[in-house]
Amino acid sequence: MTANQVALYRSMKLIREFEEQCLEMAISGEIIGGIHPYIGQEAVAAGVCAHLTTRDYITSTHRGHGHVLAKGAEPRRLLAELLGTVEGFNKGRGGSMHAADIELGILGANGIVGAGGAIGTGAAWVAKTSGSSDIVVSFFGDGAMSQGVLLEAFNLASLWSLPVLFVCENNRYATSLKLESGLAGNAARRAEGFGMTAHTVDGMDAEAVSSKAEELIERCRLGAGPAFLECLTYRFFGHHSILEKLGIEFRDIDEVAEWRQRDPILALRNKLRTETVTEIDSAVKEEVARAVDFARGAETPNPRDALLYLYSGLGAAKTGVTQ
Ligand SMILES: Cc1ncc(C[n+]2csc(CCOP(=O)(O)OP(=O)(O)O)c2C)c(N)n1
Ligand SMILES: [Mg+2]
């Protein structure tokens, strides 16, 4: 049992516990609008973010809670955000798909498929031109691989040799569209076409993700330009909580059952001491329970404040709306 295994287990377990709680709250209607559960894909966020500092940046997706937590966001402030309260890190204005904590380098989940790649490339350009050693990780799904904006971002990142690691979470589906019906060729080979070094790993194995991510992040930090990491993974639940609520599953149930056998948390748990697992499991449970109390007790924004925080700086001055 190594310190790295313990840290990865803790990170994944927190995401799982948090997401199970959110799924329940989304199905009951407490989280309005629902969520895209990250359950099953925890090894990717945990394995990659294990090698980032607070100064590094991430951009995320509509399925973003796992990335945000693995990057160090407080679960209680994320949950407060999902409940639309002023204690959320975006004062309840962002919600699940736009949760961001700039102080922690979390440039936001993103409801627009592929958009995080362009934002991440911009952040990497700033990091490079300001001479810092900060790097950017941009997470996206297999569905984003056919979005023009992401391919443009690959081009500029490679052309300008920017410090960005593109992480493709290939969970085999974009909503209900199968990978084979949505992606021509192969994701990693496509990235290589832009002159990037590209690797594919088992995204259900946190240690495998962690060790390849460490190598590629180090490469980015040393100025070797962008890199691409494809993680083969699977989501254990439907695309969105509404499908769970309605009992709809587009995928083959045997396929789902097969992937569930490869649960990344159970696989790593078997390598840890029982006492360590018990300790982490109960600490995580308590942390999520405290987050629920905190978020449920937080205030909802006053409707009179609806126009606040829409503009900053020049925008605020132009419109006359002050914060
Ligand atoms: C530009 C854009 N097109 C379409 C959508 C609708 N949409 C939301 S999630 C999604 C599927 C994304 O699939 P993938 O990138 O593989 O991520 P996953 O849901 O599998 O994590 C689509 C098409 C969107 N949000 N943005
Ligand atoms: Mg997908």
Collapsing DSSP to helix, strand or coil, 120 comes out as: helix
Ligand in nearest proximity to the CA of 171: 2
Is the model's pLDDT at 183 over the cut of 70?
yes
Confidence at residue 313, expressed as pLDDT on a 0 to 100 scale: 65
Note the pLDDT of residue 105.
Answer: 97
Residue 219, both tokens: 């490469």
pLDDT at residue 314 in the model: 54
Task: Taking residues 37-41, report their average pLDDT.
Answer: 98
Domain that holds residue 183: 3-319
Q: Percentage of the chain surpassing pLDDT 90? A: 94
Cα–Cα distance between 71 and 55 in angstroms, integer?
10
Per-residue pLDDT reduced to its tens digit, 210-245: 999 999 999 999 999 999 999 999 999 999 999 999
How many A from CA of 56 to the centre of ligand 2? 25
- Higher pLDDT, residue 311 or 175: 175
Kindly report which listed range (49-53, 270-274, 277-281, 317-321) carries the lowest average pLDDT score: 317-321
Render pLDDT for 6-18 as a digit per residue (tens, 0 to 9): 999 999 999 999 9
CA-to-CA distance for 126 and 105, rounded, in angstroms? 13
Ligand 1 centroid – CA 204 distance (Å): 21
Count of CB atoms situated within 10 Å of the CB of 159: 12
Cα–ligand 2 centroid distance for 39 (angstroms): 13
Give me the CATH number covering residue 38: 3.40.50.970
pTM of the complete model beyond 0.85: yes
Closest CA to 134 of 225, 229, 54: 54
> Can you tell me the mean pLDDT for 82-100?
95
Q: Is 275 exposed, middle or buried (0-12, 13-18, 19+ CB in 10 A)?
A: exposed
The number of distinct structural domains making up the chain is 1
Q: Give tens-digit pLDDT for 122-160.
A: 999 999 999 999 999 999 999 999 999 999 999 999 999
